[in-house]
Structure 1
Amino acid sequence: MPAPDDATRSAHAAVTTRLVEEVLVGGNLGMLDRLYTPALAPVAHRWIAPFHTSFPDVRMQIVQLVREEDTVAARFRCSGIQLGPWRGHAPTGRRFENIDEAYLFTFREGLIAKAWGLADTLERFRRLGLRP
């Protein structure tokens, strides 16, 4: 299969930006079915919907996007107030700010087909006054 051209890589970056702005920040979970492959969209719903319930005011700042072949590497800073239960903990009403997150999104036919992420969850727990 030929390597994606620059226009395709730019389109992949645009999908990643839409994921952050429209879904993660905007709360439009219906967009997941348009950004992810049919196989991965339900998985994304199972992760993102509960996170949004826990942190309905979440803000994600895109720090860096790197486009390479069929993959976008993304670095974010995440902030929010815990207003719902999260990982077995009752809402604290406390805020966390600028938690670092990094993701790799692999695309197939313009949609996110694979996602891998790493977040500083331990620091998020600490800032919320929680114990893992």
Structure 2
Amino acid sequence: MSANTDQNKKTVLRLYEEAGNQGRLEVLDEITCPDHVEHYPFPGQAQGVAGLKQRVSMIRAAFHPRFTIEHVVAEGDTVVVMWRNDGVHEGEWFGFAPTGKAVTARGADIHLLRDGRLAEHWDVVDISGFLFAVGAVPAPAATGADR
């Protein structure tokens, strides 16, 4: 793995640990391109560094998240992360009033970096754990393996 690829992985991991888990939004000014592109923005989310700060702030306000990185794959300027986010539904989330319930979401993110900074982001997120926890969708019946 090239030194550049290794540094790109470290930069992406800072997004989850320092901004996501610790709430240090100022780190995004350092690691994000000013014209950052969010390919699947939240409703009302802006583009650029301001939009990424907005996104992280929304997640933190709703869940006080704890991101755990499960897999990281990097090639050149592309870094793919599979993560788990455990939190408590403490704030409004797209029309869902706070429930105080523990929630888990899982997802995979693709980050494209330019000159060592976050430039573009795509994601796929499984929110079924959230929907089950807040009662929006009935949880599936437990199987013998789950007991």
Do the structures match in fold with TM over 0.5? yes
RMSD: 1.4
Structure 1 unpaired stretches of 5+: none
Amino acid paired to 2:50? P
- Indicate the residue corresponding to 1:24 in structure 2: 20
Q: What's the offset of the Cα at 1:92?
A: 0.4
Structure 2 Cα separation of the partners of residues 16 and 129 of structure 1: 33
More moved, 107-116 vs 38-47: 38-47
Amino acid paired to 1:39? D
Say if 2:35 is the partner of 1:39: yes
Structure 2 Cα separation of the partners of residues 111 and 65 of structure 1: 17
Structure 1 Cα separation of the partners of residues 53 and 14 of structure 2: 15
- TM-score, scaled to structure 2: 0.80
**Aligned to 1:44, what secondary structure does the other structure show?**
helix
More moved, 121-130 vs 111-120: 121-130
Structure 2 unpaired stretches of 5+: 37-48, 138-147
**Aligned to 1:104, what secondary structure does the other structure show?**
strand
Structure 1 Cα separation of the partners of residues 67 and 58 of structure 2: 16
- The percentage of aligned residue pairs carrying the same residue is 27
Q: Which of structure 1's runs of 4+ aligned residues deviate more than 6 A?
A: none
Structure 1 Cα separation of the partners of residues 91 and 83 of structure 2: 22
- TM-score, scaled to structure 1: 0.88
Structure 2 Cα separation of the partners of residues 16 and 42 of structure 1: 17
- Indicate the residue corresponding to 2:102 in structure 1: 95
Q: What's the offset of the Cα at 1:129?
A: 2.2
Amino acid paired to 1:83? E
Say if 2:131 is the partner of 1:125: yes
Q: How many residues align?
A: 125
Q: What's the offset of the Cα at 1:127?
A: 2.0
Identify the match of residue 64 of structure 1 among 56, 71, 81: 71
Deviations 1:45-75 (A, max 9, x none): 221111111112x111110100112100100
Deviations 1:72-119 (A, max 9, x none): 01000111001111111111000113x221000000011000001111
